Amino acid sequence: MRPMTFSALITLSLMACTGGDPVDEPNETGDTTVECADGVCVLTGIITEDLTLTADVAWLLRGGVFIGDDENETVLTIEAGTTVYGESSTDGMLVVRRHSKLEANGTADAPVVFTSSKSEGSRSRGDWGGIIINGLAPINACTDDTTGCQAYGEGGTGWYGGDDATDSSGSLTYVRVEFAGTLISPDNELNGIAFQGVGSGTEIDYVQVHMNADDGVEFFGGTAEAKHLVITGAGDDSLDWTDGWQGNAQFVVLQQYADASDNGIEADNNGENNDATPRSMPTLSNVTIVGSPDSAASDLGLLLREGTGAHLSNMLVTGMNDACLDVDHVSTFNQVTSTDLTIDHSLVDCTTPFLMDEQDFDGDSVNDTDPVNVSTWFTSGTGNLVTTADLEAPFNESAPDFRPSSTSAALGAGLAPTDSFFDTADFIGAMGADDWTTGWTTAAAN
């Protein structure tokens, strides 16, 4: 249930959710971490005992809420239809530490929703922190390698990384994250969801990040796999990967809005060491990237840089203002020539399909032409098309429709990877005739 207002929450006299005794979830310091009153339960601090959030009350993240102690397993379970609010005044955020799990499993009719504590109509990007999940899968950005490569997350979000590629951090199904992305410091904003060293044992399916101030979703290394991912209205990049992500993703919609955005996908290996290992090498299929053609906000559809590899198929990019596709840095072009960076059965539809950069590749302060012609690389790929996308209503921010029209060249032109993770799909882009976003996603502006 939704409280009448959240301003009243600040002055609540906290008591048990049901009855007289306080609800105390002790952390390692013995502090109270759950307190409830009048149908509203406030979460604070570090939670080290299993906890279930139910749909019959509203839950508020006050400040940083940490699940687990980074050594022992703690499971946070969130029932279908539950709403969790991030408190704007305290930059509420949820951090799931290594060895612990988030089990947030909604349904199409009753998704789990993480949203702003502000009233509907006054919400905006950056109202609260977002979700950070830390796992034990391999990364390549070590700040401490004494016990395996591990790093410390931005915004004090904890350690991530390890050597367990199949590690599980739980499951997120039919989950929506809205109006997040608090600015911690200049150049340090939180993503809608940050998957930091998350392993392939984690289930990610039917997840939307909407109106985040920074990137929608970012994979920091790891081997996480995702299906049915929707990112709308991100203030910066829609989808990022870096630090050695080697996972999979299929059926992904990235829609940028006219007021603020950057790149559809910004793909890196490692900014400090472009050839760090394990190298970023994800496999993506059936992705639709939609820019805002009437605004200067949308930059590049696919920016592949800093040594990333990737195997991309059934990619559809339309409406980007700088270009649909760009490749940067000599180490990234090396992946092209070694066939560790491939693209096939894909379609680009932008005024400028390819950005032909001139960069200083050899360190002599003189710009050189790209080592590989990006246009030639794309057009020589199997089944690739430079043509009109012909989608139903991709640029509509309030009622989008990302399906191809009956005459679209995307229909029948796709071929999904044969890996067991991927479903059979004979279309280019995130969807064919079936709109799998119906019922559980949002396009609310505020």
> Given this model, what pLDDT does residue 23 score?
33
> How many helices (H) and strands (E) would you count in the chain?
2, 33
Q: What angle do CA 431, 238, 197 make, to 5 degrees?
A: 100
The whole-number average pLDDT for the span 133-139 is 98
Question: Which residue has better confidence, 385 or 10?
Answer: 385
Provide the mean pLDDT of the chain: 91
Name the token pair of 182: 């608090």
**pLDDT above 70 for 11:** no
HSE-up of residue 424 (Cα within 13 Å, Cβ side)? 1
Q: What is the pLDDT of residues 13-50, one digit of tens each?
A: 333 333 333 333 334 443 558 999 999 999 999 999 99
Q: Of 12-16, 174-178, 359-363, which range is least confident?
A: 12-16
Single-letter amino acid, residue 70: D
H/E run at residue 218: strand 217-220
Q: Which of the four pLDDT bands, split at 50, 70 and 90, describes residue 346?
A: very high
Q: How far apart are CA 191 and CA 266, in angstroms?
A: 13
Name the token pair of 349: 């539809």
> Given this model, what pLDDT does residue 362 score?
63
Give Cβ neighbours of residue 396 (< 8 Å, ≥ 6 apart): none
Q: How far apart are CA 426 and CA 408, in angstroms?
A: 13
- Give one DSSP letter per residue of 299-318, joined into a string: -EEEEE-TT--EEEEEEEEE
The whole-number average pLDDT for the span 68-90 is 97
The predicted model scores a pTM of: 0.93
Name the token pair of 368: 């050189």
Q: Which of the four pLDDT bands, split at 50, 70 and 90, describes residue 340?
A: very high
Single-letter amino acid, residue 214: D
Q: How far apart are CA 355 and CA 370, in angstroms?
A: 10
State the DSSP code for 72: S
Q: Are strands 183-185 and 188-189 parallel, antiparallel or unpaired?
A: antiparallel
Within 10 Å of residue 80's Cβ, how many Cβ atoms? 17
| CB 213, CB 248: distance < 8 Å | no
The whole-number average pLDDT for the span 281-310 is 94
Of 350, 411, 418, 422, nearest to 386 by C-alpha is 350
Q: Are strands 283-290 and 248-255 parallel, antiparallel or unpaired?
A: parallel
CA 110 from chain centre, in angstroms, equals: 21
Q: What is the pLDDT of residues 101-124, one digit of tens each?
A: 999 999 999 999 999 999 999 999
| CB 83, CB 110: distance < 8 Å | no
Q: Which of the four pLDDT bands, split at 50, 70 and 90, describes residue 185?
A: low
The whole-number average pLDDT for the span 203-208 is 99
The whole-number average pLDDT for the span 168-184 is 95
Q: How far apart are CA 117 and CA 131, in angstroms?
A: 15
Of 242, 234, 237, nearest to 271 by C-alpha is 242
Q: Which of the four pLDDT bands, split at 50, 70 and 90, describes residue 300?
A: very high
Q: Are strands 93-96 and 58-67 parallel, antiparallel or unpaired?
A: parallel
Of 64, 51, 61, 98, nearest to 83 by C-alpha is 61
Q: Are strands 368-369 and 358-359 parallel, antiparallel or unpaired?
A: antiparallel
Q: Of 23-37, 72-86, 265-279, 324-338, which range is least confident?
A: 23-37
3-state secondary structure of 134: strand
HSE-up of residue 178 (Cα within 13 Å, Cβ side)? 25
**pLDDT above 50 for 202:** yes
The whole-number average pLDDT for the span 239-252 is 98
Give Cβ neighbours of residue 213 (< 8 Å, ≥ 6 apart): 125, 126, 180, 181, 182, 183, 189, 235, 236
| CB 244, CB 140: distance < 8 Å | yes
3-state secondary structure of 9: helix
For residue 310, the cross-strand partners are: 341
